[in-house]
Structure 1
Amino acid sequence: MSENTPKKPRPSLTEGPIAKTLILFSLPILLGNVLQTLNGSINAIWIGKYLGEGALAATSNANIIMFFLISSIFGIAMAAVIMIGQNLGAQKVEEAKKVVGTSTVFFLILSIIVALFGLIFSSAILGWMNTPSDVKELADTYTRIIFAGVPFIFGFNLIMAILRGSGDAKTPFYFLLLSAVLDIVLNPLLIQGMGPFPRMGIAGSAVASFVAQLISFVLLIVYLYQKKYFLRITKKDVPLLRINWMIIRTLIQKGLPMGLNMVVVSLSNLILIHLVNSYGSESTAAFGVAMQISSYVQMPALAIGGAVTSMAAQNIGAGKWDRVNRITWTGVGVNVLMTGLIVALLHLFNREVVSIFLPTEGKAIAIGVHINNLILWSFIIFGIFNVVAGVVRSAGSVVFPLIVAFIALLLVRIPLATVLANIYGFDVIWWSFPVSFSVAATLNLLYYRFGNWKKARMIPNKA
């Protein structure tokens, strides 16, 4: 392709109508989140159908490992999104390219180290997790293949972060769609062995995910170079593929608190599950279904939060603080409308939705309906604090949102659910959701209004 070929228009989040831009930018992120969740659910169905409960238990253990791996890079990828966004907002394309170059080298080195560590110590990690002995061999087989694909998983996530930081949310969605379709189609073919495909059992499921991620990753790179994406590394940019310690330090210092935020959420959920287990299997089943439903309810808030972070970062870089404020409140309003609509629909069809997941006999359905009645509306509040926290983070103030999450989820929700549930009963566990979300929203709003987050710095003075 000739160098004179017109380049793909550079997306900008610093101009245009805010509400329209926010909705159009968040929609692909939302669809991508739904797609990834459905992908995991469908793969679990294939494994359960063809290989049984043992194989499903094996993959569940592997998925826990993968969640922590993704959590570990999530924060660093988000830091890259914000650094790139602020630089582009300030019209510093070369500085943004420095972030891309250093992030590429850093993620490559990190992914190779993680992959080798996992391949060598996979069995030991599963043993430390108390993986049941009857499924440990299956889990080890599955986990090793997943670890082998870590460089492609990390690389794919980095490129998606770079694209979103530059204002492009559509391209990541298209290639997430490609990856999901390949994964879903290849899973039964390689598990069972159909046509020319060998019968590989549980290894087939892992290989399907590996191949889907590899193909999507390679094609995404090819696509970006064919379209002459403006942040691609060209021949003259090769010197940027190096470790810039100032950028690395920023990625880690700003990224680690954002990654730890996911760990706090996971820890809170693990403690709650442990608590709910003491009330019997029907309560546990109902809680599991309620959490599955709530994972879909919170997706709009997460998508809007991600979109707001990218938009605010570019506008902070451009010095458009009035627009940043309008982005914040537009994000809050859009979240209330979208999440509120989903919550209203679920309340109307609460029993019908819960019945999809649970057998009609027993008390679990009634418990699940009751849990939803108490917690679903609180995800509107969750969306408010998530949007405000996203804006605060986009300025480089990443520690305060982590402190808020720690206070709300571990110092408010867990003591409320554990101590007061013994006094006032089972329902206190579910009321801990709106109470903790309200605490988080209040603290984040107070910090947004009165805190010094605007003085935070994401980009080093020299890079």
Structure 2
Amino acid sequence: MNKNSNGANNMTSGNSMKQIIAFFLPLLWGNLFQQIYSLVDSIIVGKGISDKALAAVGATGTLNFLILGFVVGMTRGFGVLFSQSFGKGDMELLESHIRSAKKLCLIISVLFTVICILSLKALLLFLSTPADIFKDAYNYFVIILAGILITVMNNLVITILQSLGDSKTPLYAMLISSLANIILDIILVMGIRTGVAGAAIATVAAQFISYYYCHIKVKKLGILDFSSSTTDTTLELLKIGLPVAFMNSITASGAMILQYFVNLMGSGYVAAYSACMKFAGLFEQFGMSVGLAIMTFVGQNMGAKKYSRIRKGVREGILLSIIVNLPLAILQIFFPGFLAKMLLSDVQIISYCSEFMPILGIALFPLGWLFIYRYAVQGIGNTFLPMLSGILEVVLRCSFCMTIGRQSFRGIAISEVSAWIGAFIMLMITYYVILELKLCRCQK
């Protein structure tokens, strides 16, 4: 791996598998620590306040994905152009992309903050949020929404670093911010007794700490030091970033439908669903981290026009995904009760998790492959087809939820994994049949 003194890594030459693993591991640990402090939030809220407080926080999960997923997905889309510019060795173009991206993130974050806070109550009512957890759900999420700008800018600087092959700095930032989040959780929730609002404040504060740490490293890279005027690439960024943003929000809308049906079952099922999805979010980070490593790898090599290297890297990513997901699938399939007891106290609610979690475990492998193909296609520069896969996920979730999902909690789990499997199949066919042929023609 070609590494400069500031930590940026050129992944266009050398042993591809070693490069992918070397990039993947810090990325994985960073994503895991992000999920861990989210899990700590849940443990402290569930054990330190009540199961209903945990249900209130969990009830905002799909809204979080819908709203923050849009703006964060947009920054991830920008990363495709960052990687390709770096792979080409065109640092002035990279600078133009970054400066334009910062302006876009500022404008969109402010707009989203105002609109979403004003419409939050209506959104919670639309989701049929149970009355006994409505107030806590509102108090928690309004603080999260107030910190949208911090969240987006944190993801932008992380995307810049990862696009340049630096996955270690985001890891260090996450370690520091996770520790701060845990300390603040203990002080605000269990010490001062600020309720769910304290957990939200701790989360936003942790995001700011991560942003500040990564921002300092981006400045040290010297990629914004060109004296010549840069070209405004706003339209190019929107073209590549908006489909990723819409894909996240479209996928979230499908998850909102599942949340709606779970909410109708009562706060006990909401708490069980929240616990199951917390672990699902934690375990999916392994496959997602492999996918993100592949996106950076593919993006840089696409810029360098090394197409055969792209194909080899994707194959190696599939193998790595299988290896890392195997022990996680075993945990979800055979030990769901053990996992649920970490977050929940009520025996009946824990039993609900034993119906739901094994189904997610079985489908963990196609979920990992979905991440590989989705991020590979994005790295090549096509973000439209992955957006269509998000639409397919919504269709499948709705179809299954309207049939078997409304009949049982296990049906909700089947509705969720049907979306994973369907999108995986679509993107696999897209990659091998369409994009592989296109790349082969480019080589001739």
Q: TM-score, normalised by structure 1?
A: 0.80
Tell me what 1:439 maps to.
422
Cα offset, 1:418, TM superposition: 2.6
- Report if aligned partners of 1:122, 1:140 keep a CA contact under 8 Å in 2: no
2:289 aligns to what? 303
Partner-residue secondary structure (3-state), 2:185 = helix
Look up the match of 2:117. 122
Q: Check the 8 A contact 2:37/2:182 in 1, yes or no.
A: yes
Summarize deviations over 1:161-183 as a string: whole Å, max 9, x none.
10011111110111122122112
Long gaps (5+) in structure 1? 1-5, 457-463
Give how far 1:306 is off: 0.9
Which region of structure 1 is more displaced relative to structure 2, 21-30 or 410-419? 410-419
Task: Judge conservation of contact 1:395–1:453 (CA < 8 Å) in 2.
Answer: no
Larger Rg: 1
Aligned letter for 2:109?
S
298, 305, 312: which one pairs with 2:298?
A: 312
- The one-character-per-residue Cα deviations of 1:423-463 (angstroms, maximum 9, x if unpaired) are 9x87665444555434323222221122147869xxxxxxx
Alpha carbons of structure 1 residues 202 and 389: separation in structure 2 relative to 1, 3 Å: closer
- Partner amino acid, structure 2, of 1:155: M
* Sequence identity percentage: 23
**8 A Cα contact 1:340 1:377, kept in partner:** no
CA distance in 1, matches of 2:334, 2:52: 37
Tell me how far apart the structure 2 counterparts of residues 36 and 441 of structure 1 sit (CA, whole Å).
25
CA distance in 2, matches of 1:192, 1:435: 39
Letter in 2 for 1:214: F
Q: Aligned partners of 2:417 and 2:287: how far apart in 1? A: 15
Alignment of 1:174-213 (within 5 A): 174-191=172-189, 204-213=198-207
User: Is 1:329 the equivalent of 2:320?
Assistant: no
Structure 2 unaligned blocks of 5 or more: 440-444
TM-score for the superposition, normalised by structure 2: 0.83
In 2: Cα distance, 1:375 partner to 1:52 partner? 26
Q: Deviations over 1:325-372 (max 9, x none)?
A: 01111111111121123213443434433444455744x555533444
What is the distance in 1 between the residues matched to 2:406 and 2:319?
A: 38
Tell me which residue corresponds to 1:459.
none
**Residue 396 of structure 2: aligned partner:** 412
In 2, the alpha carbon distance for the partners of 1:380 and 1:297 equals: 11
Match of 1:460 in 2: none
1:377-421 per-position Cα deviation (integer Å, ceiling 9, x unaligned): 2120121122012111112211212222322x2333432343356
The residue number in structure 1 matching 2:20 is: 22
| Superposed displacement of residue 310, structure 1 | 0.8
> Aligned in 2, Cα 1:55/1:385: closer, same or farther, shift over 3 Å?
closer
Change in CA separation of 1:86 and 1:416 when aligned onto 2, cut-off 3 Å: same
Please name the residue that 1:252 is paired with. Answer: 238
Residue 344 of structure 1 corresponds to 330
Distance 1:47 1:274, change over 3 A: closer
Q: CA deviation at 1:136?
A: 7.3
- 389, 398, 420: which one pairs with 2:374? 389
Indicate how the Cα distance of structure 1 residues 426 and 75 shifts in structure 2: closer, same or farther if over 3 A, else same.
closer
Contact 1:152 1:213 in 2 (8 A): yes
Find the partner of 2:255 among 269, 281, 284: 269
Q: When the two structures are aligned, how many residues end up with a matched partner?
A: 433
Q: Per the alignment, do residues 223 and 260 of structure 1 end up closer, same or farther by CA in structure 2, a change over 3 Å counting?
A: closer
CA spacing shift, 1:250–1:373, aligned 2, 3 Å: same
Q: Closer, same or farther in 2 for the Cα pair 1:124/1:328, shift >3 Å?
A: closer
Distance 1:338 1:279, change over 3 A: same
